[in-house]
Structure 1
């Protein structure tokens, strides 16, 4: 392949030689909405948790397991489609995923009991598993490495906006028309997005993997470690070398602990606000967006700080690994501190800050792995990372459900404290393991 970022032929779509044009930002905007729909789908059961449990006569453990079922095939599909995304147009993969999301909502929207709900969530999880890595890959392909922090952050911002925008509306639909009506709303939203993507979506021209830059074209902040030249040489790097690197392991472990917090926000935060802190349903439906709003600010701040550091020539180890590590460390401090505070107001503030900061690591992880991987090989490592990370979504809802059944209200508080302890581990991994330049250099020796 060419040393400097140039057009890359794809099976379909329009490739462009320079990132950041109007088309690049149009595609980025569509993919932000894509992630908004994705996380609205994920959040709907949490928003209707008490209504669903009453309607289907479920214990907290059963409800937690129903939510965990969403992740049963989520990780497997993330790996498989992540590998396929290195060979097949992301434009078409994204379109197929969006259509499948809408179809998967229909059985539970029509009716049925726990079995139908679980089956529909398993199918939905399989369809949504690859969403984040493929959306990140599709977005980053429109930008060179040193310009990826903002678009990467915007895709992650779609996650938070999905809950911020949808939570009040879906809560209103659930309260006035039932939780099944909310599923119909989400099915319609998925189809509308699919139509818009069919009309305006396209593939970008920059291959992900930020370390192949000719000396004359190098930009401060981009990895300039020599890499094998030529498409065949670059793509010949075995996936095992990428997945065994300290950077991939560190980014994945840190992101796992962050995603644990995200999973709890999606599934149990509304119930925590209602049952543990005593807020009425309509107030909880509003307060649930606060940690997501904090996360949105944290994502944009992280993108700005990281981008500025990299433009000044600071290494990714510090610009991504250390900045991300501080996000997790601050989130951990807030979640652990809530156990020392009495009163619902103080706990609400600390939990919102803790989950908001602790759940904001996705962009750091994705851009770090995209830089680490050679051109044409990012889909597999991103998909594998997503598979490991989202295993937190498989475990967290069930673990918290069991805690609530066993300990009642105290189970909610224990779950928050445990999330804080996990974030401490994630922060340490981000600080001490992430260093793309070191691992790229080791790979090419």
Structure 2
């Protein structure tokens, strides 16, 4: 027998836990990516069916804008309450409950009814979806240490983009061939199927500091850090303000981009359903590039003031320049290209916002800090659809272009705020002092 024959075999248990943890972690991340895909398919369906719904229910642009704004009526409140609640209970259970409610909320307008039923269902859906992004991010990041969070954070955010990219052509086909109410049935079934998968495969990770998973020890002072102190830091305020401007761009894409393509640029419904994917595809590339650039800078020892705040600010500023170029270029194709770059870059700040706040806040306060940030920023979704609707009613097709210019100006502000004020390492040190 050789030495190799007699050498003791390496116990399987020595590597199995790590391998099992990695497999489970990435399974959860994939499920949460799909979770966000369903979430944003739910959000985008009214924008894709805007003309059909307005014709069916005899709505003005202002009324349709208000119906979309109704989605965000309880969105922010629910985001705050549920996200803080998720800091105290298993967030996996909270996520399951949200997914079930999404499916339930789609049923009333799918069955029938007018504007009142549509508004009521969107209010319920908004309340159920309000906490989705912060709770999903907090759950995904709980499986990874801070230095490995850029990729999973970006992937969960990418689910937003993938949701629209996959939903836009598919739901447009359903709407054109079977009606907008059938599209709601499709979304209800998708949500129910996902909920079953999450029930069996979902869960929370070990990088938390609660009594169920005490794998990570926080700084001694972290337990004394209150939400009020976190919300008063320059970083939290700056990230929230910058993300607000980015979410304004997201709201514009969700609600009014299909109508702009059809009514102002004269594309057909099918063409608009394909073109609306472009800014989301740009956003997907930007998200993954941001994760790679940020990760590389951090590995080289660059302070997250620049690796996160600076990179995120640059994205918003690039988006601003492109949006402001839309009225300066001629031709529908050139306008679509400029707008796609503008909204793609401008709407991609979410991953920067989430990882920055996760770095800033102690783990016991991360869910609430993310939830309140998300609640404040998503008020852009409450304001933007209604404002643009009024602009379109009063100014016609010119209203769409003026809305794009306003978005560009907001993104300039957001980019400057992120670049100059975000400094999570400095503010975390102050919190723990």
Q: State the TM-score bracket (shorter-chain normalisation).
A: over 0.9
| Aligned mate of 1:390, from 363, 371, 378 | 378
Q: Partner of 1:213 in structure 2?
A: none
| Aligned mate of 1:369, from 324, 343, 357 | 357
Q: Partner of 1:77 in structure 2?
A: 78
2:173 is the counterpart of 1:172: yes
Structure 1 residues 423 and 208, CA gap change in structure 2 (3 angstroms): farther
Distance 2:425 2:177 in 1: 54
User: Cα offset for 1:208?
Assistant: 8.1
2:412 is the counterpart of 1:412: no
Distance 1:208 1:100 in 2: 29
Distance 2:76 2:219 in 1: 31
Tell me the SS of whatever aligns to 1:378: helix
2:386 is the counterpart of 1:403: no
User: Cα offset for 1:17?
Assistant: 7.6
Distance 2:195 2:387 in 1: 35
Between the two proteins, the alignment pairs up a number of residues equal to 412
Structure 1 residues 81 and 300, CA gap change in structure 2 (3 angstroms): same
Q: Partner of 1:131 in structure 2?
A: 132
Residues 17 and 206, structure 1, Cα contact 8 Å, conserved in 2: no
Structure 1 residues 227 and 20, CA gap change in structure 2 (3 angstroms): closer
Q: Partner of 1:185 in structure 2?
A: 186
Distance 1:77 1:316 in 2: 30
Tell me the SS of whatever aligns to 1:206: coil
Which string of whole-angstrom CA distances, capped at 9 and with x for unpartnered residues, describes residues 335-355 of structure 1? Answer: 001111121111110000000
Residues 141 and 153, structure 2, Cα contact 8 Å, conserved in 1: yes
Q: Partner of 1:116 in structure 2?
A: 117
Distance 2:208 2:245 in 1: 29
Distance 1:414 1:387 in 2: 26
User: Cα offset for 1:386?
Assistant: 0.5
Distance 1:130 1:291 in 2: 25
User: Cα offset for 1:20?
Assistant: 6.8
Normalising by structure 2, report the TM-score: 0.93
Query: What residue ranges of structure 1 are gaps of 5+ in the alignment?
Result: 1-15, 210-216, 218-225
User: Cα offset for 1:441?
Assistant: 2.0
Residues 67 and 397, structure 1, Cα contact 8 Å, conserved in 2: yes
Q: Partner of 2:309 in structure 1?
A: 321
Distance 2:357 2:96 in 1: 24
| Aligned mate of 2:227, from 224, 233, 239 | 239
| Aligned mate of 2:294, from 296, 299, 306 | 306
Residues 75 and 375, structure 2, Cα contact 8 Å, conserved in 1: yes
| Aligned mate of 2:241, from 253, 256, 269 | 253
User: Cα offset for 1:202?
Assistant: 1.2
Distance 1:121 1:205 in 2: 35
Which string of whole-angstrom CA distances, capped at 9 and with x for unpartnered residues, describes residues 120-139 of structure 1? Answer: 00000000000000000000
Distance 2:179 2:130 in 1: 27
Residues 324 and 364, structure 1, Cα contact 8 Å, conserved in 2: yes
Distance 1:50 1:182 in 2: 14
Q: Partner of 1:21 in structure 2?
A: 22
Distance 2:201 2:219 in 1: 35
Residues 19 and 143, structure 1, Cα contact 8 Å, conserved in 2: no
Query: What residue ranges of structure 2 are gaps of 5+ in the alignment?
Result: 1-16, 211-215
**Structure with higher helix content:** 2
Tell me the SS of whatever aligns to 1:377: helix
| Aligned mate of 2:267, from 279, 285, 291 | 279
What are the within-5 Å matches in structure 2 for residues 48-59 of structure 1? 48-59=49-60
User: Cα offset for 1:443?
Assistant: 2.0
TM-align CA RMSD = 1.6
User: Cα offset for 1:18?
Assistant: 9.1
Mean Cα deviation higher: 338-347 or 182-191: 338-347
Distance 2:73 2:224 in 1: 32
Q: Partner of 1:435 in structure 2?
A: 423
Residues 106 and 188, structure 2, Cα contact 8 Å, conserved in 1: yes
Structure 1 residues 240 and 18, CA gap change in structure 2 (3 angstroms): farther
User: Considering only CA atoms, is the larger Rg found in Structure 1 or Structure 2?
Assistant: 2
Which string of whole-angstrom CA distances, capped at 9 and with x for unpartnered residues, describes residues 266-299 of structure 1? Answer: 0000000000111111000000000000000000
| Aligned mate of 2:280, from 280, 284, 292 | 292
2:346 is the counterpart of 1:345: no
Normalising by structure 1, report the TM-score: 0.91
Distance 1:227 1:159 in 2: 31
User: Cα offset for 1:31?
Assistant: 0.2
User: Cα offset for 1:444?
Assistant: 2.7
User: Segments of 4+ in structure 1 off by > 3 A?
Assistant: 16-20
Distance 1:207 1:311 in 2: 23
Which string of whole-angstrom CA distances, capped at 9 and with x for unpartnered residues, describes residues 371-410 of structure 1? Answer: 1001211011100000000000000000000000000000
Which string of whole-angstrom CA distances, capped at 9 and with x for unpartnered residues, describes residues 108-166 of structure 1? Answer: 00000000000000000000000000000000000000000000000000000000011
Distance 2:143 2:219 in 1: 23
Mean Cα deviation higher: 85-94 or 434-443: 434-443
Distance 2:247 2:218 in 1: 32
Distance 2:348 2:323 in 1: 14
Residues 222 and 432, structure 2, Cα contact 8 Å, conserved in 1: no
Q: Partner of 2:321 in structure 1?
A: 333
